[in-house]
Chain A
Amino acid sequence: MTTKQLALVIDLNVCVGCHACVTSCKSWNNAGAAGPLTDQNPYGADPSGTFFNRVQTFEAGEFPATETVHFPKSCLHCEDPPCVPVCPTGASYKRAEDGIVLVDYDKCIGCKYCAWACPYGAREIDEQQQVMKKCTLCVDRIYDEKLPAADRKPACVLACPTSARIFGDVHDPESEASRAIRERGGYALMPEWETRPANHYLPRRK
């Protein structure tokens, strides 16, 4: 627990479902160092595309006490990522220095086994490049010293108009992310599979 584990903490209490995190993610990662994040038939009748991040919407509770919950979903950068050991080439890996789970697009053979091994469906194959893609926590941006310090955050975090996305080191108990998890009931998704997701979610509050 001493090394760094970067992660996102997503506050479902304030997410308004505007999809700004989705579009900013797509924009940054489509134009970034890792190359395009391709779409197929984007303006046609049956559009499809590769995304690192999607905002889903759920309705919870019995009428009239129903609530609409917007639910951003991306790679959770698990501390025990099931997608990494199954990769036959070593293209999928978890960085020792900051815990980010990445794919080396030059080594990936596009066998899709890692996607089968992820219970969250966080990995999507790029149909044009035929390699597996997933959230990088904007690894090409968060360490870029040419950017002002305040901008060295994932694109989705900077774009969120309600500050529903907190970026930080969840192994540092004093980080904003750790404090939010501790003080606002942060939880992990599908704890039953013991993947220990680094990303956490903050529940709705009244």
Chain B
Amino acid sequence: MRPAWSVLLFTTLAGAGQGLFLALFAAQPQGRLMQAGLATSLALLAAGLIASFFHLGHPERAWRAAAMWRTSWLSREVIVLPAFMALVAAYGWTQSALLGALAVAACLALFACTGMIYACLPFLQEWRSPLTLVNFTLLGCASGLTLAAALAAALEPALARGYVLAALAVGAAAYLGRLASLFRNARLRPKSTLASATGIPQRPIVQMSQGAMGGSFNTREFFHGRPRAVVRAARWTLLALVFPVPAALLLAGQAAPAFLLQFAGLLAERWYFFAEAKHPQNLYYQAIA
């Protein structure tokens, strides 16, 4: 699949915003850290929301996307995201425990919606796994905790140590989950083959022409189109920056650079998530002539 920057930014920004909210709600800091943290969480969510609009051909019709919540995880996400943002704002305003608990529920629901958008597609085998949900949730929480550690270091140093330890623990869990998914996906065998895609009985089958001399939506949307070296570089970047480098920086008391590098690592992680997913339609688009 071609990684879309709008979606990479949306899922990473919103994930960090969600993780930061959970980190604040869990530790209940008083005063400036709580207010500044909730404002940062809202800003990240808003930035993610804006990024997501760039994915749409008709952003002015985005309101229609709330219609099919009975069947579509995307529609559910479109409803839950603004609801979560409203609850975070209301919680910041009132400090009501009930609103906070509702915001936690909305936050977890949002992780579930985002993950299920990918995990519910049966033939994208790389995505069709509970690990997709686990990874979206844990990676979001890890980056949110790293950001909370950075904010605490500046605003409420007494809490910084706790956030660093939590960021290390959740970061390690998220890293293990992502490694498990890399391991799983490297061993997948595609269910669809050119034989099942065409029903032609003879072997081998080779495509001579895809019916168009130039490219098409099918050749643009479903192939990342980058050399193998770029894909490998993305994997190494994610392996280094999702956890090991930020962990070292956190231990060295450098939480702010840790967050920035981890965020860069998560962009690489999300890029790789798309690039490694092989859509079965690609079987029909192997030769241009």
Contact = CB atoms under 8 A, between A and B. Distances in A.
Interface in B181-230: 191-192, 194, 196-218, 221-222
Given A86-B74, A115-B221, A69 B58 contact: no
B210 A54 contact: yes
B199 A203 contact: yes
Given A46-B215, A113-B74, A113-B117, A130 B57 contact: yes
Interface residues of B, number: 60
Q: Count chain B CB atoms within 10 A of each CB in A66, A110, A111 and give the residue with the most.
A: A111
Given A115-B221, A120-B281, A88 B78 contact: yes
A206 to B, nearest CB: 12
B3 to A, nearest CB: 13
A163 interface: no
A46 B215 CA distance: 8
A84 B211 CA distance: 26
A54 B211 contact: yes
Q: Count chain A CB atoms within 10 A of each CB in B57, B66, B285 and give the residue with the most.
A: B57
Q: Count chain B CB atoms within 10 A of each CB in A67, A88, A190 and give the residue with the most.
A: A88
Contacts of B56: 109-111
Q: Count chain A CB atoms within 10 A of each CB in B1, B56, B123, B211 and give the residue with the most.
A: B211
B67 to A, nearest CB: 5
B123 A54 contact: no
A29 to B, nearest CB: 15
Interface string B57-82: 11101101111100111110010000
A15 to B, nearest CB: 12
A142 interface: no
B74 A109 contact: no
A87 B72 contact: yes
Interface in A18-65: 19, 22, 41, 46-51, 54-62, 65
B148 to A, nearest CB: 32
Contacts of A118: 281
A125 B57 contact: yes
Given A86-B120, A193-B122, A187 B57 contact: no
B57 A111 contact: yes
A187 B62 CA distance: 39
Q: Count chain B CB atoms within 10 A of each CB in A121, A124, A187 and give the residue with the most.
A: A121
- 7 closest A-B pairs (Cβ-Cβ)? A110-B57, A130-B57, A121-B281, A54-B211, A88-B75, A61-B202, A85-B71
10 contacts: A46-B214, A58-B206, A60-B205, A88-B64, A88-B78, A89-B67, A113-B72, A116-B124, A120-B280, A188-B199
